[in-house]
A and B are shown apart, each in its own frame.
Chain A
Amino acid sequence: MKSRRSSDFPRLCTGSSILAKPKKSSLMHEILIHIILIALIFALFYAATLDKASSRAVKQQVLEKQIALFIDSASPGMEFTIQKNNMKGTVSNMEIKEGRVFAYVDGQSLSKGYPYFSKNYVSLEKKEGEYLIKIR
């Protein structure tokens, strides 16, 4: 007859509820939670560094400020185009509103924009493969 330890058997007791769990599955459960947590943190770090490594924010800044300077120094009647497939990346969208230039590079969705001070009326036309800015 094989001897067994008393701790291997679930104990029944009246008055208080006692949870009986085998030790090995409890350890596995804990390890699994830790692995998931570490994986989540790694995914967060990866997403954050990927954005910095691609330097999209720098390209966006360069584009917005260059366009704002163009608009500031332009005279009425001038117009200039910005190619969508630019050396600074693919310009996925562009907006000119409330006295600011907003440029979105490689699928960005957020932009603080950069202000221009030109007194002339500025309009933006979106065409196939390029953006046309007119100063009137």
Chain B
Amino acid sequence: MYEFVGFQNLFMEISPQEFKKNVELIQKIQNQTKIKLFYRVTVHTNDVNEFNCALNKISNYKALIIVLQSTNKDLLTFAAKNSRIDVLSFSSVEEIKSLTPGIISLIKQSKKYIEISLIDLFMQKTFERSRSFREIYKILRLANNKEHIFIYAGLESSIYYIKGPREIISILNSIFEIPLSKAKSILSTNPSGLIENIQNRTDVNFLEDGVRIVKE
């Protein structure tokens, strides 16, 4: 279905144990589709100790993208400075309310990404949908001129809520008043940047931004 609506790359949710055990199965799935698959793990918690325990279990898997989903502002601030977290996810209205300008600034400095989802807009109706529109609009206004840190997440619970990239770009442009070029970057350039970060992390020759060992 993702291929039907026009996606070419996909981040798939997986647990680290499954990732380790089923390498062949993952390769088989990749061979059957033209979509390139990348894998991610989401940590759902509001407790700092629980977060540290979860992180200790998964930090060895360098090829996995680690995402934090939380409503605790202190934990979000802590995670924004943590080098192992790649993305902070804000998919529901409650999570969006915990995002502050300070956290946005920290994320921008540490070259991480904020993940937003429009799934509530597709599932809700009438006044609930209007409220969700308003919350997402406020966040996008807060991060004015910082659209390069946003990426889009589907987080669909049913295939009927899957929307293509062209439709998402139009929604961001017409409803949330984001310029077309920045809306396109949320769906193409920013995820490419995230993938590049992961590839640099797994590359032995990569030291830091702009520094790479070249062997002759």
Q: Do A and B bind each other?
A: no
